[in-house]
Amino acid sequence: MNDNAIAIIGGGVIGLSIGWQLLRHGKQVEIFESKEAGKSASWVSAGMLAPVSEAGFEEMDLLNLNLESIKQFPKFADELKEDSGIDIDFRTEGTMMIAVDRDQAEHLRRLYEFRKKIELPVEWLTGSEAREREPELSPAIKSAVWIPNDYQVDNRNLILALIEAVKKRGGTIHEHTPVESVSVSDNTITGIFVNGESKTYRKVVLANGAWARDMKGLPEDVRPPVRPVKGQILTLRMTKEFTLQKVLRSQKVYFAPKKDGRLIVGATVEEKGFESYPTAGGVKFILEEAWEAVPGIYDLPLEEINVGFRPSSRDNEPIISDTSVGGLYIATGHFRHGILLTPVTAYEMTNIIINGKSSELIEPFSLLRFKQ
C-alpha cells in the first residue's frame, strides 16, 4: 500500500470529482464505492443547475456558493471533455418557473419579488407569454417567471465522464467495496478498514452522501449530521409530436428535457430514511402535478421510476470541510444541489487538501458550524 495515496470514500459525483481534480494536481487517488460508481443519488437526478430558481429566503451564503459553482461549470465541462472525451451537454436554454393555479401564482409572485430585491435576473410573464415560449404548457398556467441563467447538464454523462477521467488520469475506483471503518489514532487519520484488511492512508475524504453519518470509527465530534431525504423521480420519453426545450418548474414538480429524448420529471421530497422502493402515492403525485402543468405528457412512454437519497445536513446546507481529525476531510450534505455544486466542491476541496487553505466562499460550510 502506498500511503501517499488519498482515499475517497464514496464514488458518487462528489467523490469522483474531488478524486479527479486531485489527480489533475498530480496526487494518487483511490476511490471506494460500496455499490456501482455514480449509480446512487447522482444517477437519480435531473441534472438541473438552479441557483436562482432554488434560492431560499434565508440562504445567502448558499446562494453565493451556488452562483459561483454555475459560473465554474463551463471550465469544469471543458476540462472534463479534455480528460474523458465525453460531453456533459451543458445547456443554457434557461428555466421557467410556472404557476398552475391562483395559489401557486401568489407564491410565485413572492419568489419573484425576493429575487428582484436581491438583483437576480428574472422576468415576470403572463400565462400566454409563458405559452409562447413553451407551447406544451397548459392553458391553465396563470403566470411564470423566466430565469435566463439557470441551466442544466446531463447528469448521467457527467458521471460517465468523471469515471472515465479518473481512470485516464491513473486513479483507481474500487466498486462494490464498502469501507467498513476509518482508523483514527491520536486525533489523526491512519487509514481505512476494507475487505477485512487495514489499509494505510494519511488523507481520507468522506464523500459517501447520505451514508456519511454511519461511518464506523469516526470520533463523535466529526460525525456529519446528514440524513437521507428520499426522492422519487420519473423518466418519460419525448416523441416527435411532443418536445420541451426548457427546464420547467412548478411549485410541486419539475421537468428537465434531455438531448437524447428523455424527459426527467420529479420529484418527491420525503423523510422516510433509506426506504428504497417507489410508491404508488409518489408516482401518482408526480404524474398528477406534472399533467396539470403539461397535459401532453399523458401519452408519453414511462421508461423509468427511480428512487434516490439526497444527503441533507441538519441545516440543509452542504458540508465541505476539513475536520479536527488530521487528514480527514468531509464533502456531503449537498441536498438538492449535488450536481450544481460539483465544480465548486471539487475545486475548493482540492485546495483544502493540497494547500490546507479554505476560502471565504467555503467557510460557512465548515463542519465546525454544528458544534455551537
CB of 310 to ligand GLY, least distance (A): 5
Closer CB to ligand GLY, 50 or 205, in the complex: 50
Closer CB to ligand GLY, 11 or 266, in the complex: 266
Closer CB to ligand GLY, 46 or 222, in the complex: 46
Residue 231 binds to ligand GLY (criterion: CB under 6 A): yes
Residue nearest ligand GLY, Cβ-based: 336
Cα–Cα distance measured from residue 18 to residue 23, given in angstroms and rounded to the nearest whole number: 9
Torsion angle (degrees, nearest 10) of CA 293, 295, 300, 304: 30
Residue from 127, 266, 333, 343 touching ligand GLY (CB under 6 A): that is 266
Cα–Cα distance measured from residue 323 to residue 359, given in angstroms and rounded to the nearest whole number: 15
CB of 250 to ligand GLY, least distance (A): 13
Residue 282 binds to ligand GLY (criterion: CB under 6 A): no
CB of 115 to ligand GLY, least distance (A): 17
Contacts 24+ apart (CB under 8 A), 67-71: 68/344, 68/361, 69/340, 69/341, 69/342, 69/343, 69/344, 69/345, 70/149, 70/150, 70/151, 70/340
Size of the site for ligand GLY (CB under 6 A): 7
CB of 251 to ligand GLY, least distance (A): 13
CB of 290 to ligand GLY, least distance (A): 13
Closer CB to ligand GLY, 127 or 231, in the complex: 231
Closer CB to ligand GLY, 127 or 266, in the complex: 266
The residue with cell 416523441 is 239
CB of 217 to ligand GLY, least distance (A): 30
For the chain, how many residues are written? 372
Residue 203 binds to ligand GLY (criterion: CB under 6 A): no
User: Which residues ranging from 64 to 93 are in contact with ligand GLY (CB under 6 A)?
Assistant: none
- Which of 257, 288, 267 has the alpha carbon at shortest distance from 335? 267
Residue from 115, 262, 310, 334 touching ligand GLY (CB under 6 A): that is 310
Closer CB to ligand GLY, 84 or 268, in the complex: 268
CB of 291 to ligand GLY, least distance (A): 18
Cα–Cα distance measured from residue 138 to residue 141, given in angstroms and rounded to the nearest whole number: 6
Cα–Cα distance measured from residue 289 to residue 303, given in angstroms and rounded to the nearest whole number: 18
Query: Residue type at 208?
Result: N
Closer CB to ligand GLY, 194 or 267, in the complex: 267
Closer CB to ligand GLY, 207 or 229, in the complex: 229
CB of 95 to ligand GLY, least distance (A): 12
Reading the block at residue 210, the C-alpha cell is 447520505
Closer CB to ligand GLY, 5 or 44, in the complex: 44
CB of 280 to ligand GLY, least distance (A): 20
- Please report the DSSP string for 105-153 in residue order: HHHHHHHHHHHHHTT---EEEEHHHHHHH-TTS-TT--EEEEETT-EE-
The CA-to-CA distance between both ends of the chain, in Å, stands at 39
Cα–Cα distance measured from residue 264 to residue 262, given in angstroms and rounded to the nearest whole number: 6
Residue 48 binds to ligand GLY (criterion: CB under 6 A): yes
Whether the CB-CB separation of 330 and 206 falls below 8 Å is answered with yes
Closer CB to ligand GLY, 203 or 249, in the complex: 249
Torsions phi, psi of 303, nearest 5?
Answer: -95, -35
Cα–Cα distance measured from residue 334 to residue 130, given in angstroms and rounded to the nearest whole number: 31
- Assign 169 to helix, strand or coil: coil
Residue 267 binds to ligand GLY (criterion: CB under 6 A): yes
How far CA 240 is from CA of 33, 265, 290, 298, in Å, comes to 39, 18, 19, 14
What binding mask, one character per residue, do residues 328-367 give for ligand GLY by CB under 6 A, x or -?
Answer: --------x-------------------------------
CB of 335 to ligand GLY, least distance (A): 7
Which residues in this chain contact ligand GLY in the complex, by CB under 6 A?
Answer: 46, 48, 231, 266-267, 310, 336
